[in-house]
């Protein structure tokens, strides 16, 4: 895509504009024409050489947090180079700009702060949100990722420090699906915090107040949503890392009003569902015969189950039959009908059984084919549990999805070791390949970055007015189709990240097709060659010639 705004800036201003700066790659002609002569060292270099320098410096940093800081400052200096480095080294860099390192960066946000990035809206701004959105310099914003910082990854309430999350997610929108950086708007709603450590930290940069609750909080969210409709009427709003009671409420409230989705619920569901589809290509069993035991009945867990149920219904089960194949364990034990403490989203999954707290007893009674961990409880898939799964299944499906890596329900090594290498394993955060009994296993990462960028691109391309579950089902299937037989042979149930642009394009196609089929697309008429049209929208991190 051509630059969205051709900037007429020169000299130091050009060097300090990250979206236009090329650093030492400005050509001789450009240096003369744009008043840069003398402001740069004499030798003109290529973007490839600049990448080499960046990677060399990056690899010398002693901690992942240092690497994060280095990459963010590159993004602040030279956006094109940043995205080229990210895109061509996704395996190495995604864990630095997103989970797990971004979790650490959020915890330290006030301490490592250099420059602001994204838009901060606080509870003091009530009544003025539209005017704050007007301050955002890029009027072309098409994708907004918003958090209120209450449940950052599995790390809890990080409030204003949570800004790392929308910033990181949008960097992935650009790298993975080519959404132009000028179309991305990260937003953090600072409504206070209950985190004592932050409230007493002199370097904390958010409001020093307790969280807003009730009607005042809801009114602020309402005002934000209306202000976005006014200022950026074509924008997709992605809710991110809200606490689970709010996430479910807002999804229900806004999904039929505006173009929005919740990645923790729907994105996670689609990526996990795609993983299950791929795993079933290995076990050669239909979805409708699976029995899934979820650890964690929150946004991630019930979101996945909802999609699994939709998939089972497509295979011929009734909704009730499908739900009976999904059992949940939460912090109080098995989710059963007699419990009076169940939140609304858990009720459809409550089973007519006595309350059991012993996890092994639940496994013995249910005989699951898959364990899906979304509990934020590290190590909850114990040696005994994994051994029991291996006893009752030839190829047990074990997904330890909690983030960051330190929160995973089990490590990749344990999953393979305690199942004699028979587990089909995926995690939320990355694990290195594992060698066990002379075999190499490549753990799949059920990374939401496989799904949300492509869905976003499909929504932007079709200018869909809503985001529907049908789009996520189609996205999950498109993702599973991108897994090759060779990947499956290595136990890998997601495609390599190196293929991410191809994957995102396929998902965008699937999403846009649903938007057109469901009559939600506003980009009309439908392009005759949708694939070519979608590709033409994708940002390529290559330098433009200015003169
Ligand atoms: P949530 O707060 O909505 O849900 C957590 C659930 O875990 C609750 O139902 C809670 O009762 C349950 N839980 C707590 N202690 C437990 C215990 N001892 N045994 C069983 N269950 C227990 O959080 P959400 O959004 O569902 O996220 C959960 C985890 O999933 C987080 O660690 C998050 O990072 C991860 N996640 C992973 C994704 C991925 O891999 N692609 C995407 C989104 C979330």
Assess whether pLDDT exceeds 80 at residue 134: yes
In the chain, pLDDT over 70 holds for what percent of residues? Answer: 99
Q: For ligand 1, atom 16, name the residue with the nearest CA.
A: 331
Q: What is d(CA 105, CA 262) in angstroms, rounded to the nearest whole number?
A: 23
Q: For ligand 1, atom 15, name the residue with the nearest CA.
A: 331
* Nearest residue to 147 (alpha-carbon basis) of 114, 121, 125: 121
Q: What is the pTM of this model?
A: 0.91
Averaged pLDDT, 139-152: 97
Per-residue confidence at 491, pLDDT binned at 50, 70, 90? Answer: confident
Which residues' Cβ are closer than 6 Å to ligand 1?
151, 153-154, 244, 264, 268, 271, 295-301, 329-331, 374-377, 380, 401-403, 407, 428, 446, 448
At 1 the pLDDT is: 43
Going along 138-291, which residue ranges are E strands? 143-147, 184-190, 236-239, 260-262
* Nearest residue to 386 (alpha-carbon basis) of 406, 356, 355, 363: 363
- 517 alpha carbon to ligand 1 midpoint, in Å? 34
Would you say 530 and 509 are in contact if contact means Cβ atoms under 8 Å apart? yes
Q: Which residue in the list 169, 173, 277, 539 is annotated as catalytic? A: 169
Query: 377 — phi, psi (to 5°)?
Result: -115, 100
Q: For ligand 1, atom 17, name the residue with the nearest CA.
A: 331
Beta-carbon-side half-sphere exposure of residue 502 (alpha carbons within 13 Å): 9
Is 98 labeled as catalytic in the residue annotation? yes
Ligand 1, pocket-test mutation among 106, 374, 429, most atoms within 8 A of CB: 374
- Give the model confidence (pLDDT) of 210-229 as tens digits: 999 999 999 999 999 999 99
Atom of ligand 1 nearest to the CA of 151: 2
At 404 the pLDDT is: 82
Averaged pLDDT, 296-323: 94
Q: What is the DSSP letter of 521?
A: B
Token readout for 235 is 């924008």
Q: What is d(CA 169, CA 263) in angstroms, rounded to the nearest whole number?
A: 10
Assess whether pLDDT exceeds 70 at residue 138: yes
* Nearest residue to 242 (alpha-carbon basis) of 211, 271, 284, 286: 211
Is 169 labeled as catalytic in the residue annotation? yes
Q: What is d(CA 176, CA 169) in angstroms, rounded to the nearest whole number?
A: 10
Token readout for 263 is 């990645």
Q: What angle do CA 495, 499, 500 make, to 5 degrees?
A: 90
Q: What is the chain's mean pLDDT, rounded?
A: 95
Parallel/antiparallel/unpaired status of strands 326-330 and 292-295? parallel
Q: What is d(CA 270, CA 455) in angstroms, rounded to the nearest whole number?
A: 10
């Amino acid at each position: 895509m051509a630059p969205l705004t051709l900037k007429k800036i020169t000299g130091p201003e050009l060097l300090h504009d990250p979206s236009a700066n090329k650093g030492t790659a400005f050509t001789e002609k450009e240096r003369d024409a744009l008043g840069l002569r003398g402001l740069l060292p004499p030798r003109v270099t290529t973007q490839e050489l600049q990448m080499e320098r960046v990677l060399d410096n990056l690899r010398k940093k002693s901690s992942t947090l240092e690497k994060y800081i280095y990459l963010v400052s590159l993004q602040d200096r030279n956006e094109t180079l940043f995205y080229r480095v990210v895109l061509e080294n996704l395996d190495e860099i995604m864990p630095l700009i997103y989970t797990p390192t971004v979790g650490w960066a959020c915890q330290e946000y006030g301490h490592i702060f250099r420059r602001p990035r994204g838009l901060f809206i606080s509870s003091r701004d009530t009544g003025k949100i539209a005017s704050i959105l007007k301050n955002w310099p890029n009027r072309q914003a098409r994708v907004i990722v918003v958090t209120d910082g209450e449940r950052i990854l599995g790390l809890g309430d990080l409030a204003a420090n949570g800004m790392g999350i929308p910033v990181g997610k949008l960097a992935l929108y650009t790298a993975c699906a080519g959404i132009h950086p000028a179309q991305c708007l990260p937003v953090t709603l600072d409504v206070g915090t209950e985190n004592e450590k932050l409230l007493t930290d002199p370097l904390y940069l958010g409001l020093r107040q307790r969280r807003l609750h009730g009607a005042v909080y809801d009114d602020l969210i309402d005002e934000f949503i209306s202000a976005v409709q006014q200022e950026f009427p074509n924008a997709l709003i992605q809710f991110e890392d809200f606490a689970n009671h709010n996430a479910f409420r807002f999804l229900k409230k806004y999904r039929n009003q505006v173009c929005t989705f919740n990645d923790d619920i729907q994105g996670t569901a689609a990526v996990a569902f795609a993983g299950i589809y791929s795993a079933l290509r290995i076990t050669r069993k239909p979805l409708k015969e699976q029995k899934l035991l979820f650890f964690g009945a929150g946004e991630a867990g019930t979101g996945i189950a909802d999609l699994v149920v939709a998939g089972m219904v497509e295979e011929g089960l009734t909704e009730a039959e499908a739900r009976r194949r999904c059992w949940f364990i939460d912090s109080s034990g098995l989710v059963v009908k007699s419990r009076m403490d169940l939140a609304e989203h858990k009720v459809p999954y409550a089973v007519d059984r006595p309350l059991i707290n012993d996890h092994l007893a639940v496994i013995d009674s249910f005989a699951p084919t898959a364990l899906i961990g979304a509990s934020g409880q590290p190590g909850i898939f114990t040696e005994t549990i994994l051994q029991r799964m291996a006893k009752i299944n030839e190829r047990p499906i074990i997904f330890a999805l909690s983030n960051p890596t330190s929160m995973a329900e089990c490590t990749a090594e344990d999953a393979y070791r305690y199942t004699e290498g028979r587990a089909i394993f995926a995690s939320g955060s990355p694990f290195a390949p594992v060698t066990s009994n002379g075999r190499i296993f490549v753990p799949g990462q059920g990374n939401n970055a496989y799904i949300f960028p492509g869905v976003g691109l499909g929504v932007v391309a079709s200018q869909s007015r809503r985001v529907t579950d049908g789009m996520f089902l189609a996205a999950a299937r498109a993702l599973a189709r991108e897994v090759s037989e060779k990947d499956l042979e290595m136990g890998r149930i997601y495609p390599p990240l190196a293929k991410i642009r191809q994957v995102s394009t396929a998902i965008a196609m699937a999403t846009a097709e649903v938007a057109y089929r469901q009559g939600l697309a506003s980009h009309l008429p439908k392009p005759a060659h949708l694939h070519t049209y979608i590709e033409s929208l994708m940002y390529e991190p290559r330098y433009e010639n200015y003169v």
